[in-house]
Structure 1
Amino acid sequence: MRAWERDLVYIAAWKAAVFGAPLAWPEDERVALRFVLDHSIDLTDRAGTSAHDAAMELIAAGLRRSLACPSPATLDRRIASWRAFHRMKNLPSPFEAPLIRQARAKARRAANHLPQPKSPRPVTRDLLNALIETCDGSLRGIRDRAMLMLGFASGGRRRSEITGLRREDIDLEEFDDRGLIWIRLLETKTTAKGEAPRLPLKGRAARALVAWIDRAAIADGALFRPVSRADRALVRPLGPDAMRLILRYRLKCAGLPEDYATPHGLRSGFLTQAALDGAPLQAAMRLSLHRSVTQAGRYYADVEIETNPATDLLD
């Protein structure tokens, strides 16, 4: 729903900037073709054109980051949203026209490039330990330590999965006897409600999570919460972007650039570390909940080719 809302705002703002008119239902094919063409080229050196001027308006409004050509995936998603809006109204979509399909295919080939990783670097064990060392004994430090360790050790959880956890999702029955915690994910990006299995958390990560629950006195509701200046846990949950802000802060405390890694680095770091430690891919995927062996196997492939003895033949 958030993605649909953002796309609708962007599409409406773009048409107003280019055509000076609101969205029409169904939309004209001429507008759809112009949308594809304007988002298939780099506008940096096209000052004075209507596409450049519209892009500058969108940047000023905070709806576009730069004049660079958006990635094919971003354009595909916005087109998919626009088509979905037509379906909701039981109207034909202009993007089904053969000319627009052909233009989109050619634009995709022209913009073909290697996909950029979601995080500049994977947060592997050494980097994670460096971040954890910056977490002091304050309530904020205890919370950040628990979030970082849970995010990594439970299979490389996405930031929305971490901030969306509730106290009711944490089973501590086996912690005293076995040091084991079970985490229940009701819904993830790759699983529906009731399909995601319970995930185990043990060792340092389990102890860090229990320390946060005890110190913050979390009995129910949101598991991870903002911490006040008086070092008290508030009632409301953390925002969706909290994990990014926490990671940036801990990177800065560790003496690293704030953009050294992103929250997705916990996910890629878990699989990378599993490959480095020789854990079977299928075992790692049972925790990461990847559906695609190909996608998860890329991290293993990068590690395996780096340690391949054939790379040292010259030496």
Structure 2
Amino acid sequence: MSDPLIPHRASALPSLDVADSAALEDLYVRGTPTNTLRAYERDLVYLTAWKQAAFGAALTWPEQEEVALRFVLDHSRDLHEEEGRAKQTAEALIGLGLRKGLSCPAPATLNRRIASWCAFHRMRNQPNPFDAPLLRQTRAKARKAMARPPTPKSAHPITKDVLLKLLDAAGSGLRGLRDRAILLLGWASGGRRRSEIVGLNREDVDLSEYDAQGVVWLQLVQTKTTDHGKTPKLVLKGYAARAVVAWIDASGITEGPLFRRITRTDALGQKRLSDAAVSQILKRLLQDAGLDPSYASPHGLRSGFLTQAALDGAPLPAAMRLSLHRSAAQAQKYYDDVDVAANPATDLLADW
């Protein structure tokens, strides 16, 4: 990623020479998750365009509190019935393809963009305008005014019955083997995120116990909730383990990316699959399985694993050892979503 933020850092520390500045840039890039860097890049583009449309000026460091306050106000209300500067700015952003409409943006979107803006100030060793008392109070009021029921990341969880339909729809050939391995690894290892699935290398898959015990071990380098090099090993058994081994044997992959693109002629490519490719694969399989392509997103693998664990009566701590949730309260939400009539605890006297 070409990072336009780094060159300004040296201005706050004039003692840094060129080599130190380059080392600092490299440290920031290596020490920041790829998805976060992409989000920073998107947010910087948006903030730059908004400031230009609203004030006819570029971003400044540190930014003025009045500018930060107007940003919060512009993104904390519906602009359909309004006339004036805020609506004109929003329409300019819509024209640039940076804003979807005049409706009030999701609170999470506003919070992420402000968090990025704060991070940009820290990178430049500059004071953050959002720390001002008025900005803090305004943001708190905006959060209450914009409060809405949380939207699930996936329309439906991919529970075991849905997963089996997708696996049947995967078909044969190298592509089918790969797609089944992606789904089963992602689901059975605790509900892995897209970036975690495609980030795996062949070296991260340990088959030393497969022949004797039917077990496959996975070593993720890092997840959203674990630090680099501190992610515990995860295990695959049964159908999931067999699917991953079948993919490795058929593809002949001995090193490098575990999941790669496959050409139209069913030939194995060398490039690692992207996050977006996992979404495309899932949509295709949903459609081939006779379901609406919008039925579930890749996050449905994660929510589906925890939902199925609840349905099958697996203790929450046991499920969390695989899902790697940091917060028990967050993981508990999936257990709470299970229909009380389907709760295994309701069957304690079912056979009497």
Calculate the TM-score normalised by the size of structure 1: 0.94
Question: Post-superposition shift, 1:306?
Answer: 4.5
Partner amino acid, structure 2, of 1:66: G
Q: Is 1:229 matched with 2:229?
A: no
> Which residue, out of 147, 153, 157, partners 2:182?
147
**For residues 168-183 of structure 1, what are the structure 2 equivalents within 5 Å?**
168-183=203-218
Q: Which residue of 1 aligns with 2:71?
A: 35
In the alignment, the residues of structure 1 paired with residue 230 and residue 185 of structure 2 have an alpha-carbon distance, to the nearest angstrom, of 20
- Which of 32, 38, 46 is equivalent to 1:10? 46
Contact 1:216/1:232 (8 A) holds in 2: no
Q: How does 1:1-315 map to 2 (within 5 A)?
A: 1-46=37-82, 48-303=83-338, 305-307=340-342
The equivalent residue for 2:7 is none
For 2:322, what is the secondary structure of its paired residue?
helix
Q: Is the Cα–Cα contact under 8 Å of residues 153 and 201 in structure 1 kept in the other structure?
A: yes
Cα pair 1:15 1:22 within 8 Å, conserved: yes
Deviation string 1:200-233 (CA, Å, 9 cap, x unpaired) is 0011111111111111111100000000111111
- Contact 2:283/2:294 (<8 A) preserved: yes
Q: Give the Cα separation in 1 of the matches to 2:89 and 2:241.
A: 51
AA aligned opposite 2:228: K
Secondary structure (helix, strand or coil) at the match of 1:21 reads coil
TM-superposition CA deviations, 1:104-147 (whole Å, max 9, x none): 11111101121111111000000111111111112111111110
Q: Distance in 1 between matches of 2:92 and 2:168?
A: 44
Checking the alignment, whether the CA contact within 8 Å between 2:201 and 2:258 is kept in structure 1 is yes
More off after superposition, 88-97 vs 219-228: 88-97
Tell me how far apart the structure 2 counterparts of residues 263 and 83 of structure 1 sit (CA, whole Å).
Answer: 30
Q: Give the paired residue count.
A: 308
SS of the equivalent of 2:295 reads coil
Q: Please say if residues 163 and 242 of structure 1, whose CA atoms lie closer than 8 Å, have aligned partners that are also in contact.
A: no
SS in structure 2 of the partner of residue 236 of structure 1: strand
Report SS of the residue matched to 1:235: strand
User: Contact (CA 8 Å) 1:15, 1:21: kept in 2 or not?
Assistant: yes
TM-score, normalised to structure 2's length?
A: 0.84
Contact 2:311 2:342 in 1 (8 A): no
- Residue in 2 aligned with 1:312? none
Give the superposition deviation at 1:56.
2.8
CA distance in 1, matches of 2:148, 2:196: 30
% identical equivalent positions: 60
Q: What value does the CA root-mean-square deviation take over the aligned residues?
A: 1.4
- Using a 3 Å threshold, how does the CA distance of structure 1 residues 56 and 251 change in structure 2: closer, same or farther? farther
Counterpart residue type for residue 22 of structure 1 = A
SS of aligned partner of 2:338: helix
Give the 3 Å change call, closer, same or farther, for CA 258–304 of structure 1 in structure 2: closer
**Structure 1 residue 279, shift from structure 2 partner:** 0.6
SS in 2 for 1:303: coil
Kindly state the Cα deviation for residue 66 of structure 1 after the two structures are TM-superposed: 3.0
